[in-house]
A and B are shown apart, each in its own frame.
With several copies, the nearest count.
Chain A
Amino acid sequence: MSNASGPGRPAASEGTEASSFDTRKHTPVQRLQHFLHGNPAAVPMIVVVVSVVVFAATIGPKFYSAFTLTLILQQVAITGIVSAGQTLIILTAGIDLSVGSIMVLSSVVMGQFAMHYGVPGFVAVIAGLAAGGLCGLINGLLVSLVKLPPFIVTLGTWSIFGAITFIYSGNETVRSQDIDQTAPILHFFGNSFRIGHAVFTYGVILMVALSALLWFALNKTAWGRHVYAVGDDKNAAMLAGIRTGRVLVSVYVVTGLICGLAGWALIGRIGSVSPQAGQLENINAITAVVIGGTSLFGGRGSILGTLFGALIVGVFSLGLRLLGTDPQWTQLTVGALIIIAVATDQWIRKVSA
């Protein structure tokens, strides 16, 4: 009666004869593939480890030092945070092209409130986060109430939020020194602590904590199950009694808030508030999610995969820079990397299906 080893075997294998189907020997390779199939974040994790090892062997201690490795973490923190939000959206079979615009808009709101409206720093932060949440709400309502394709909605709001940022800020960059004097809380995520040579900014902690929190929410709460269900088959989820509209709106709002957090962390990272920042953050985030093994068709993927996906890009960017590669060649390599990562993932899934 054991069909534990053949989960795909349907009703017919329930009888005693089923055993005859399960006696095929599994080679170690097959077992590895099976493991990889069961753990979607495993492939990107392995790629991270392998690439660190390869770069360390090639470049030596300059790369393989606590300082450099934690530097990579700092460099991917913003993208890591934004792509955590992007993962939620893509899990619902959506896509959000406006994440970068929301992030910058939030940071600009924080800067303007703190510098020009004379409110305390934490009020400015709350205003910025609220702006992010509001942008997410607009996206979410257009997607769930007006039922427009997310690609279109966020293609539109990408322009709109971007334009609002420029108009609202008057293209003004707020200087780091001024922030330090008026509202140092805006720099919170830029502060760091050291453990030996390793340097961790609070932005890095935020990225890791946020990923852990979302992992918990996605896997251990009803909301998380609903997010997967909506992305998997929206109509089935609706018929099964899930309020799909609410789930969608909540996902876009949460992502908006996460982008707001990213905007706050961005101020910490670059010091100043610049309306010009983050113009490619949407592409970076989608790249991280995709390399992390989340399906653009929704319902399949993991937040940890995304974290490793962002790290892969970070490791490659820094590694190639330290190797002295030309920026154009780095761009070429990252392009090839995206394709190779997804092809590998696909191959593993196929063989271990």
Chain B
Amino acid sequence: KDVSACLITKTDTNPYFVTMKKGAEQTAKKLGVDLKTYAGKYDGDNQTQVDDIETCIADGVNGILITASDTKAIVPAVEKARKAGILVVALDTTLQPTNAADVTFATDNFEAGKLIGEWAKKRLGNKKAHIAFLDLAVSQPSVGVQRDQGFMQGFGIDIKDKNKWGDETDPRIVGHDVTGGAEDGGRKAMENLLQKDPSTNLVYAINEPAAAGAYQALKAVGLQDQATIVAIDGGCPGVKNVQEGIIGATSQQYPLLMASKGIEAVKTYVETGKKPQNSPGLDFVNTGVNLVTDHPVKGVKSIDTKEGLKRCWG
């Protein structure tokens, strides 16, 4: 029996999602699944994702794999698809509520943030922290909020409302600025915050491109050794940057794994009607996060960059 599936990513410009798409396409080819791919136009573009889900319903596919831009807002459309008998697999980010999707293969973004937060805390030791936050966008998409708040919690900052950044009052925070998740935004945001507090010694970056931009800004004023940068994603350029000491540590996620598992799940479901088991203690299948760093600290599990490079994407 022919199995068909859709993959809907947040955007198709971010290398993370491009990798996910490649992974899904490879597995689909191997398993003989007919796959079409869709994407939003910007991070947070819920409307296009709704259109995409509807298209998949009209197309009569068996399964939809989606990385939701707005994890709450997408739920009604997902329900519609499930009503139409389609297996909905959430990738990368859990929906709110998680059980809105049939299956979820995700990394916990909050957890990913927490890892680098804990690492940074130990790495800094007794030094007084001056932390710059390089976030995603003014509109505060959920992935950006979860990573940011996770980092804070890991670092031991009172996060107040878990659903937004910017309401914290911890004096160690230099400030927040937005980067669009790209290098140019990263550089400018870093420059601005450095101006605010030139003794900034810890930089949280929403992803590795933003971190690369931030590094340029630090290097331009010779402060690259004063400040430690932490990021999230685990793409190959990012891991290489960890290896070279540009980024201190990054939380590596596994989009390829998520994508291939997602496709497999659709295939299995169509053939046997079975859904995969959730990870123990969780309401989703955790594809795992690993902290990648060459400076391991006690009490925080990590892998080194050699291992990280083996498992990196993009």
Q: Please determine if A and B sit in direct contact within the complex, based on CB atoms under 8 angstroms apart.
A: yes
In the docked arrangement, what's the CA distance between A270 and B44, Å?
13
B residues with a Cβ closer than 8 A to A are 12-15, 18, 36-39, 41-42, 44-47, 50-52, 54-55, 58-60, 69-70, 72-77, 96, 138-141, 145, 161, 163-164, 166, 175-178, 180-184, 186-188, 191-193, 195-196, 209, 212-213, 215-216, 220-221, 237, 240-241, 244, 246, 314
Chain A nearest CB, measured from B200 CB (Å): 13
* Cβ contacts A305-341/B at 8 Å (1 or 0 each): 0000000000001100110101110010000000000
Contact A270 B164 (CB under 8 A): no
* Cβ contacts A65-78/B at 8 Å (1 or 0 each): 10110010011001
Closest to B58 in A: A68
Q: Which of A121-174 contact B (CB under 8 A)?
A: 162-163, 166, 170-174
Closest to B197 in A: A62
Contacts of B216 in A (CB 8 A): 176, 190, 269-271
Contact A199 B220 (CB under 8 A): yes
Contact A322 B195 (CB under 8 A): yes
Contacts of A322 in B (CB 8 A): 55, 58-59, 192, 195-196
A-B CB contact pairs (8 Å), 10 listed: A67-B58, A172-B163, A175-B241, A192-B220, A270-B184, A272-B73, A274-B209, A276-B13, A276-B181, A321-B55
Contacts of B182 in A (CB 8 A): 274, 276-277, 279
Chain B nearest CB, measured from A70 CB (Å): 10
Contact A321 B240 (CB under 8 A): no
Q: Which of A275-312 contact B (CB under 8 A)?
A: 275-280
Contact B76 A176 (CB under 8 A): yes
In the docked arrangement, what's the CA distance between A78 and B73, Å?
16
Which 3 residue pairs across A and B have the least CB separation, nearest first?
A: A271-B76, A270-B183, A276-B44
Say which size band chain A's interface belongs to: 35 or more
Contacts of A67 in B (CB 8 A): 58
Q: Is A344 an interface residue (CB 8 A)?
A: no
Q: Which of A170, A175, A274, A331 has the largest number of chain B CB atoms within 10 A? A: A274
Q: Is A266 an interface residue (CB 8 A)?
A: yes
Contact A321 B72 (CB under 8 A): no
Contacts of A175 in B (CB 8 A): 72, 75, 96, 212, 237, 240-241
A residues with a Cβ closer than 8 A to B are 62, 65, 67-68, 71, 74-75, 78, 162-163, 166, 170-177, 190, 192, 199, 201, 266, 269-280, 317-318, 321-322, 324, 326-328, 331
Query: B46, B47, B177: which contacts A327 (Cβ < 8 A)?
Result: B177
Q: A270-B77, A278-B47, A278-B184 are in contact. Are A324 and B175 (CB under 8 A)?
A: yes
Contacts of B176 in A (CB 8 A): 326-327
Contact B138 A331 (CB under 8 A): yes
Contact B45 A280 (CB under 8 A): yes
Contact A272 B177 (CB under 8 A): no
Q: Which of A172, A177, A192, A327 has the largest number of chain B CB atoms within 10 A? A: A327
Chain B nearest CB, measured from A216 CB (Å): 29
Contacts of B191 in A (CB 8 A): 71, 74-75
In the docked arrangement, what's the CA distance between A270 and B220, Å?
11
Q: A171-B13, A322-B59, A322-B196 are in contact. Are A276 and B36 (CB under 8 A)?
A: no
Contact A275 B54 (CB under 8 A): no
Besides A270-B74, A270-B187, A277-B182, 11 other A-B contacts (C-beta < 8 A): A171-B139, A173-B209, A177-B241, A269-B187, A270-B47, A271-B76, A272-B73, A275-B139, A322-B58, A326-B176, A327-B37
Contact A280 B42 (CB under 8 A): yes
In the docked arrangement, what's the CA distance between A326 and B244, Å?
33
In the docked arrangement, what's the CA distance between A278 and B96, Å?
21
Contact B36 A272 (CB under 8 A): no
Contacts of A65 in B (CB 8 A): 58
Q: A68-B58, A71-B58, A272-B76 are in contact. Are A277 and B184 (CB under 8 A)?
A: yes
Contacts of B175 in A (CB 8 A): 321, 324
Contacts of A174 in B (CB 8 A): 72
Q: Which of A74, A174, A272 has the largest number of chain B CB atoms within 10 A? A: A272
Chain B nearest CB, measured from A16 CB (Å): 62
